[in-house]
């Protein structure tokens, strides 16, 4: 089930929950050629956000940490693109979920950007 917008402050958990929410959303979408391809890309990029942030927290140097956080931000931007391209048809509920997920992408990008800036 797709979770509520009450994401926790633990960023590893937050990015993990985002990836889970994306997967739940994908299962609800209408099947067509473009959605099938875009969903594959979205599943990869949304999971990569969390994976790279976990890697950042296990980094061996500050430089490695910053690079992994930058990759997480890049993957978040990519996820937002794929979400934007998805066709939800006339389904208002799916459109609401899509907008919420895109909003979470925007918030995550700001968070990752702030982390990078503070790490300089």
Q: Report if residue 83 sits inside a domain.
A: yes
- The answer to whether position 2 is within a domain reads no
Q: Is 59 inside any structural domain?
A: yes
Residue 47 domain-assigned? yes
Answer whether residue 4 is part of any domain. no
d(CA 80, CA 102): 6
> What residue numbers bound the domain in which 101 lies?
11-118
Q: CB neighbours of 39 closer than 8 A, spacing ≥ 6? A: 26, 29, 82, 86
Q: What is the pLDDT of residue 1?
A: 45
Closest CA to 53 of 117, 110, 108, 94: 108
Instruction: Give the CATH number of the domain where residue 75 resides.
Output: 1.20.1440.60
Joined tokens for residue 20:
């889970």
Taking the whole predicted model, whether its pTM rises above 0.85 is answered as: yes
Question: How many domains does the chain divide into?
Answer: 1
Has residue 109 been placed in a domain?
A: yes
3 in a structural domain:
no
Q: What is the pLDDT along the chain (120 residues), one digit of tens a residue?
A: 455 444 445 999 999 999 999 999 999 999 999 999 999 999 999 999 999 999 999 999 999 999 999 999 999 999 999 999 999 999 999 999 999 999 999 999 999 999 999 997
What pLDDT sits at residue 89? 92
Asked whether the CA dihedral 57, 61, 67, 70 is positive or negative, the reply is positive
Domain-embedded: residue 30:
yes
pLDDT of residue 118: 95
């Amino acid at each position: 089930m797709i979770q509520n917008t009450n994401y926790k402050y633990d960023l590893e958990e937050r990015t993990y929950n985002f990836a889970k929410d994306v997967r739940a959303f994908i299962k609800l979408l209408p099947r067509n050629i473009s959605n099938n391809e875009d969903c594959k890309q979205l599943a990869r990029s949304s999971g990569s956000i969390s994976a790279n942030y976990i890697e950042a927290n296990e980094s061996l140097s500050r430089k490695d940490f910053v690079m992994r956080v930058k990759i997480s931000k890049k993957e978040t931007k990519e996820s937002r693109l794929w979400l934007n391209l998805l066709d939800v048809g006339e389904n208002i509920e799916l459109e609401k979920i899509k907008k919420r997920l895109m909003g979470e992408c925007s918030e995550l990008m700001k968070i990752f950007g702030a982390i990078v800036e503070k790490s300089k």
